[in-house]
Structure 1
Amino acid sequence: MRYRKLANTVLSLSEVTFGAWAAGGWMWGGTERGAAVEAMRAAYDQGVTSIDTAPIYGQGASEEIVGEAIRGLPRDQIQILTKYGMRWDLKQGEFGFSSKDNDGKTIDIYKYAGKESIIKECEDSLKRLGTDYIDLYQIHWPDTTTPIAETMEAVSRLIEQGKVRFAGVCNYDAAQMAEAEKYISLVSNQVPYSMVKRDIEKELVPYCLEHGKSILAYSPLERGLLTGKMKPGHHFEAGDHRQGLSYFKVENLQRTNAFLDQIKPIADEKQLAVGQLVILWTLQQPGITITLVGARNKEQAIQNAKAIDQQLSEEEVTAITGYLDQLELIA
């Protein structure tokens, strides 16, 4: 495994960081707790020392699973990244959307990052994770109902108390990052980025490069689309959010798989799976610090981690990007 430092910190994260959204089951058709714990442990054995989670993932389930997975491991050698600002148990702030929890019960999700709410969320997360500090604490989504100053003041207090080491954001644009930076030292922005979702290259990547901020790329495999394993007619479990996404329409699956067939010879030459090649390409894009990659079982976790056993040359990256530039998906 290779590691990269978060900008302006002493915190080194594994280039492949374990993304624990699916581990919580919510929006992924459920979870098998034992398999999720086993996957995180297997990833750790491969050098994956960083895990990204959030309270909303399974309404606490993902954080509890992470807590179980890291129990007994050396805490100072693990980096826990979690979030705040999405409440399912409080109707306050900006309404996000309605969903169903793992038991099939309808829940309303609110984006809320008020000061007292953040303090409470942090305490709840620490209990679920079984730790006394969080390495990177990130607002999950912008909350238009709460001043950024108030939000960052709360996180500053948590840092002063030693409950949080560093502050990050998720899904912020450049202007929101600049506003937050007035009140706290931001180290990172976690945003969606994949071969088929590259809009951050226009404004956010240049901003982060200019101001020395790390970018944590989530969904680099586009929720399984870029593994090459998704075929037209794929059956999704009940409650799996992917069945409604345009990426998984028959024609888009066909077009994406045709592109993946074009780059497969590069993967074969390096004895990599296509998904591993995609991870490597993502890590070599300007401004990208780490990739957040999920796994539902230990086999997936090990494969993701082993992507780092290889590297791509500039010529290979250019060749892959050339094929990619010809890929057009329909909305």
Structure 2
Amino acid sequence: MGTVKRIKLGSQGLEVSAQGLGCMGMSAFYGPPKPESDMIALIHHAINSGVTFLDTSDIYGPFTNEILLSKALQGGVREKVELATKFGIKYEDGKRDIRGDPAYVRAACEASLKRLQVDCIDLYYQHRIDTRVPIEVTMGELKKLVQEGKVKYIGLSEASASTIRRAHAVQPITAVQLEWSLWSRDAEKEIIPTCRELGIGIVAYSPLGRGFLSSGPKIVETLSSGDFRMALPRFQLENLEQNKMIFERVNEMATRKGCTPSQLALAWVHHQGDDVCPIPGTTKIENFDQNIGALSLKLLPEEMAELESYASSDLVKGDRYMDGGPGTWKESDTPPLSSWTG
């Protein structure tokens, strides 16, 4: 095993590698699925390097990413990892639905256990919040799954501060997953302070700005037609010119520090605290190795401030998601428990 340090995620006892591996891009959303044997080799390489916190979801594929992970975890590998998956986003007849009703929560969990070929999910997230179902109702079913030993720890993804509070009152939340990077910092206002107050770990997805902070605007030339980043506002021509300046400044500083821009952007997330675990995704072993290098990069407070000045909110052009995209649920709350008739 590698020497990646371990951190405690949340207050319930979960311990993970200080950096995780986001597995989505291996199967979905970032162009066509990658060759299975290559991805299994990458997952094994990650585990051997000490990155044992693996992140997937039933919607990645849908379902194919969980199946890929099940194959990678055969032969005694399962015991070496902390496995996180998610439920709550469903596509039917080409339409997206968000589900948090108890029957769906249970059915989704059973289906994930089967696909992953495991007895228990280490960290089970509600991927998006169903605004029709009181969060207390969803959490009540998740609590039962914990009591039954099917899930060890519960997480929320893209939840508002008040939803997090209400959920945590029913069953302790171990981690909140949110987009956090140099150019996505809106969670710092309310959500991150709420997590810290309640002792909830923070899992930062897209810590490299969906690849933009690694390669800059030229990434757009390499995206395949099925890559959903092609539709994201920040990757549109009218915003790229402005966002390019952010990348160029990060790149200049990386050159001064003798590292890559992605290592610098990742190190910035690592420096947010020991309760934060970024989960950069990749499909290439060389990029994975580069990401690991971020763990040993030290940034001084003035360097952190300098980096932040490059990507202040007024300098980032374009929203995180297109209208109606997953991020648009972020600040909405679920109805009060008293309104639920089941």
Interval containing the TM-score (normalised by the shorter chain):
0.7 to 0.9
Q: Does residue 1:108 correspond to 2:99, yes or no?
A: no
Q: Which amino acid aligns with 1:290?
A: C
Could you say what secondary structure the match of 2:20 adopts?
A: strand
Q: Give the whole-Å Cα distance in 2 for the aligned partners of 1:278 and 1:327.
A: 18
Corresponding position of 1:164: 151
Corresponding position of 1:34: 37
Q: Which amino acid aligns with 1:42?
A: H
Unmatched tracts of structure 1, length 5 or more = 90-105
Corresponding position of 1:78: 81
Q: Deviations over 1:224-244 (max 9, x none)?
A: 111125428614212211111
Q: Does residue 1:130 correspond to 2:132, yes or no?
A: no
Q: Is the 8 A contact 2:195 2:201 kept in 1?
A: yes
Cα deviation for residue 24 of structure 1 reads 1.9
Cα deviation for residue 31 of structure 1 reads 0.9
Corresponding position of 1:46: 49
RMSD of aligned Cα (Å): 2.1
Could you say what secondary structure the match of 2:223 adopts?
A: coil
Structure 1 pair 56–251 and aligned structure 2 pair: CA distance change class (3 A): same
Unmatched tracts of structure 2, length 5 or more = 319-342
Corresponding position of 1:64: 67
Q: Which amino acid aligns with 1:238?
A: S
Q: Which amino acid aligns with 2:306?
A: A
Hey, which of these two has a bigger chunk of helix by percent? Answer: 2
Q: Does residue 1:294 correspond to 2:296, yes or no?
A: no
Q: Give the whole-Å Cα distance in 2 for the aligned partners of 1:278 and 1:228.
A: 11
Using structure 1 for the length normalisation, give the TM-score. 0.88
Structure 1 pair 269–47 and aligned structure 2 pair: CA distance change class (3 A): farther
Could you say what secondary structure the match of 2:129 adopts?
A: coil
Percent of aligned positions that are identical? 29
Q: Is the 8 A contact 1:282 1:288 kept in 2?
A: no
Q: Deviations over 1:34-78 (max 9, x none)?
A: 332222222222211000100000010011111112222443331
Cα deviation for residue 22 of structure 1 reads 1.1
Q: 1:180 aligns with which of 141, 163, 167?
A: 167
Q: Is the 8 A contact 1:194 1:222 kept in 2?
A: yes
Q: Does residue 1:308 correspond to 2:295, yes or no?
A: yes
Cα deviation for residue 3 of structure 1 reads 2.2
Structure 1 pair 15–124 and aligned structure 2 pair: CA distance change class (3 A): same
Q: 1:284 aligns with which of 242, 265, 271?
A: 271
Corresponding position of 1:99: none
Structure 1 pair 327–36 and aligned structure 2 pair: CA distance change class (3 A): farther
Q: Give the whole-Å Cα distance in 2 for the aligned partners of 1:116 and 1:281.
A: 41
Using structure 2 for the length normalisation, give the TM-score. 0.85
Corresponding position of 1:247: 234
Cα deviation for residue 79 of structure 1 reads 0.2
Q: Deviations over 1:179-226 (max 9, x none)?
A: 112211112211111211111111111211222111111111111111
Q: Which amino acid aligns with 1:284?
A: H
Q: Is the 8 A contact 1:46 1:306 kept in 2?
A: no
Q: Give the whole-Å Cα distance in 2 for the aligned partners of 1:284 and 1:13.
A: 17
Greater CA deviation, 237-246 or 32-41? 32-41
Q: Is the 8 A contact 2:242 2:317 kept in 1?
A: no
Corresponding position of 2:185: 198
Q: Is the 8 A contact 1:209 1:287 kept in 2?
A: no
